[in-house]
Structure 1
């Protein structure tokens, strides 16, 4: 018997009977309220379809998890606080590169270390814990900044700049691992978007700070500033961040000891739900396979296509960002201080895009869960298992539903952006600078909305590998971004900004089929992977 994903459901408008949900197929209008009883019959004609050979086992698994314990015991307020803490820690990934934009073209120099280091740190954090790796990576970062502020020559500057990037880049992957630890899929989209919005504040403020510091105190003051700020953050992590890796902390109810226990917990009253582990925790040993295992995710078709599409969008956004200094300096004659200010729309766009898509993903997941229960004749109280999403639950549709219009707006904005900077008759007009900056805002907002969708879905597809999945995502994105940044100046010089960015927009169009393939076949590939994994465990 085929298992089908028939419908997307939305909550009824205000004033409508809330016990009778509206049914909506992708691209269709809501059906009449009087037709609600026909929702189940409509499932027969819906597509795409997925056949699971052993439905009885899948149904048994569903029934076995009808009344699971909480995914995590932390209340919503504490989860938001922790996401805020790791978001502040994640500021340094963007801050450590964007703060140089007004005066240095540092992206190409940092690309190698920022691509590879999350793979190492992320793999370790999925094995030995989030908290010790956070502390270790920030220690590397602080030492690097101190040396950079005193560096006597260029080779020392280059080496420790790479170590600085290695320390800061890890914060993104570890932070996403924490979010996967504490949040079920129904909350994950909102938390990842909230986390991304906090981190992206550094993209908005970094160039401004860099311009002010470099103009006032010289470039070495940037490293002193980063060293002081990161020292305050590592103190915050030591004080407040508990270990969240589920093999160590469970769902937050296992008693922590040693480095895994935050200092605040040592002097505060212990919650009543805390308990000792029933047996000694058996953690994985760190071996060479620990660092190679994330690379195996690239062999999964749905994950690879997701990463590839998101990586191309990231590369184009990086090319827009990295070329801003030269383009705006030559077109509008800006000094370093004002060059820092022109990055504000880009930074604000990243925050706006992340905040917007977080709300949409939460709504879409809830709608998908309601539709799934209806299609499977499950009781209203049933909750989709958070640890292992059922093979027949359409998580791909729940996450990717808004991707078409977001990608379209990103493409159009990118295509138009180059033309606004191509002609002196336009750039010489008073106030014209606002036009390309407005397009930068849209490019940043839409690209970061895509990043949040992409990262949330990859986390859903890789349960228990939150940091590793983010690390491999960063590897693909930074690798493609480094290639793009290396060629963008040559493209602009040889064919002009109009045709350069139009070409990048067309590349996005060419990549669109990969997202479409994931929509139609991603669920089938995920089901096959789930079945294969179950056989290996048996």
Structure 2
């Protein structure tokens, strides 16, 4: 905390009263500025000024010398905030990117009931159509959250974002089933075109740029494509001055797109991504093969094929929400323990850059993942036995049996998406200042592994049957859990070594 002391000659009586009056109204000005920061127009707040809540606060102590009649003003400067947006505005941003993220699940799940019809129309195998479900997802990200969120906020924001996004997984197949059943499968893609255009309009109108190299902590002047249209119409010309210390904006080159891949060289990041990718791949196989398995086994039409994806969709929402609450609770508990050991240390939740090397963020995030993984493995292994042919398991033909595999699908979706939320948050914690890169490499590896799994899903079912296939996937996940154990045991050590190398370079 830096302290500066300046002496001023006492002003004339009239000016002194004016000065005193201005200080007495500072509280109302601060309240007004705080309210404006929470407005629904998502415009970056003004740069923090002395005397405001935006970043610097001045505590003034007046001491008048009887002979000199001087006023001594002691000014205490606090650090600028990580981001100037209020919690309310941050939630607005998360909701907007969550709505945009709806298309992550909607686009891939809305035509699941129509896979067989599409394959027949295009004269390709169902396996070829299933490849389209995950291969395109590598371009999607949620770097906005890391740009605006402190570590204690990140878990709840990412989980809420995933819950909104995963809502589309619940309703997408139902919408797709209705459209395909009454209007044909082509109507599904017309619906996607219209919906995506509407969401794009909302983004261009409301969402400001948050990339910290461009927007800083939200106090920099935004121009051109970085400034939302609504702020231009409502607020008019932006008269804020660009800070003199602003670094030049980085140029977009081929290195910009390849740089995220360099994160795979880091052991803690690599093992986290591999484990998360394995779980995602197994879940993708379960989802992609549902249409073929249930259509043949239970003789369902397109409409009912859409409805059976509802338990899977609800599971993704429940898993994300539970993971968010667990992460927030464990982070605060770990922070309390850390501050107990280091009473003079700054709270890790307010850290603007790297978390302290001796703060066990890996344990705080992964504390509940082992038992969640066990539930995922057991549910996956059992699932294959519930979708055997009636000739192999007579009870499958009994009325109401369809509820059993659907219940297991709910468990698989809930546990896998809880792992995704925790895994995504941890990778973001391990890559401070690299929001876009961490999200990109996470999606690249996870969705790449998912596409690879889907490519072999039908082949494994044809060759080994459902029981052996999903039992094998459960065993595979058990074996890949060694990466989870490695992160728990050595993650903090690897993170510390990486930061030491960065400090020396």
Q: Residue 491 of structure 1: which of 460, 464, 476 is its match?
A: 460
1:464 match: secondary structure: coil
In structure 1, the partner of 2:400 is 431
Once the two structures are TM-superposed, the CA of residue 483 in structure 1 deviates from its matched residue by 1.8
Q: Is 1:193 equivalent to 2:159 in the alignment?
A: yes
Q: Residue 303 of structure 1: which of 257, 266, 269 is its match?
A: 269
Larger radius of gyration: 2
In structure 2, the partner of 1:324 is 290
Q: Residue 257 of structure 1: which of 223, 231, 239 is its match?
A: 223
1:386 match: secondary structure: coil
Once the two structures are TM-superposed, the CA of residue 281 in structure 1 deviates from its matched residue by 4.0
How far apart, CA to CA, are the structure 1 residues paired with 2:86 and 2:95?
Answer: 14
Deviations 1:499-536 (A, max 9, x none): 21111111111111211111111111111111111111
How far apart, CA to CA, are the structure 2 residues paired with 1:323 and 1:460?
Answer: 34
| Distance 1:153-1:345 versus aligned 2 partners, 3 A rule | closer
Aligned pairs for 1:155-234 (under 5 A) are: 170=139, 172-173=140-141, 176-234=142-200
Deviations 1:415-456 (A, max 9, x none): 111111125212211111111101100100000000011110
| Distance 1:288-1:198 versus aligned 2 partners, 3 A rule | same
Q: Is 1:394 equivalent to 2:405 in the alignment?
A: no
Once the two structures are TM-superposed, the CA of residue 167 in structure 1 deviates from its matched residue by 7.9
Deviations 1:69-101 (A, max 9, x none): 221111111111111101111111221111111
In structure 2, the partner of 1:523 is 492
In structure 2, the partner of 1:363 is 329
| Distance 1:269-1:166 versus aligned 2 partners, 3 A rule | farther
Kept after mapping to 2: 8 A contact 1:369/1:384? no
2:322 match: secondary structure: helix
How far apart, CA to CA, are the structure 2 residues paired with 1:249 and 1:106?
Answer: 47
Once the two structures are TM-superposed, the CA of residue 494 in structure 1 deviates from its matched residue by 2.2
Q: CA RMSD in A?
A: 2.8
How far apart, CA to CA, are the structure 1 residues paired with 2:397 and 2:439?
Answer: 43
Once the two structures are TM-superposed, the CA of residue 220 in structure 1 deviates from its matched residue by 1.9
Deviations 1:278-305 (A, max 9, x none): 2454122222221211111111111110
How far apart, CA to CA, are the structure 2 residues paired with 1:107 and 1:336?
Answer: 12
| Structure 1 runs of 4+ with >2 Å offset | 66-69, 105-108, 152-155, 161-170, 267-281, 377-384
Aligned pairs for 1:78-93 (under 5 A) are: 78-93=89-104
In structure 2, the partner of 1:453 is 422
Q: Residue 501 of structure 1: which of 470, 482, 485 is its match?
A: 470
How far apart, CA to CA, are the structure 1 residues paired with 2:483 and 2:85?
Answer: 38
| Distance 1:383-1:83 versus aligned 2 partners, 3 A rule | closer
How far apart, CA to CA, are the structure 1 residues paired with 2:133 and 2:366?
Answer: 35
How far apart, CA to CA, are the structure 2 residues paired with 1:382 and 1:526?
Answer: 16
Query: How many residues are paired up?
Result: 420
How far apart, CA to CA, are the structure 1 residues paired with 2:386 and 2:293?
Answer: 11
In structure 2, the partner of 1:23 is none
In structure 2, the partner of 1:95 is 106
Q: Is 1:334 equivalent to 2:345 in the alignment?
A: no
**Is there any run of 5+ residues in structure 1 with no aligned partner, and where?**
1-65, 109-151, 156-160
In structure 2, the partner of 1:313 is 279
In structure 2, the partner of 1:411 is 377
The range that moved more, 420-429 or 383-392, is 383-392
How far apart, CA to CA, are the structure 1 residues paired with 2:497 and 2:348?
Answer: 24
Kept after mapping to 2: 8 A contact 1:194/1:354? yes
Q: Is 1:353 equivalent to 2:364 in the alignment?
A: no
In structure 1, the partner of 2:211 is 245
Aligned pairs for 1:26-37 (under 5 A) are: none
How far apart, CA to CA, are the structure 2 residues paired with 1:423 and 1:165?
Answer: 28
TM-score, normalization by structure 2: 0.78
Once the two structures are TM-superposed, the CA of residue 491 in structure 1 deviates from its matched residue by 1.7
Once the two structures are TM-superposed, the CA of residue 67 in structure 1 deviates from its matched residue by 5.4
How far apart, CA to CA, are the structure 2 residues paired with 1:309 and 1:382?
Answer: 26
| Distance 1:73-1:338 versus aligned 2 partners, 3 A rule | same
Kept after mapping to 2: 8 A contact 1:92/1:168? no
Kept after mapping to 2: 8 A contact 1:418/1:497? yes
Once the two structures are TM-superposed, the CA of residue 277 in structure 1 deviates from its matched residue by 2.4
**Is there any run of 5+ residues in structure 2 with no aligned partner, and where?**
1-76, 125-129
| Distance 1:107-1:276 versus aligned 2 partners, 3 A rule | farther
2:85 match: secondary structure: coil
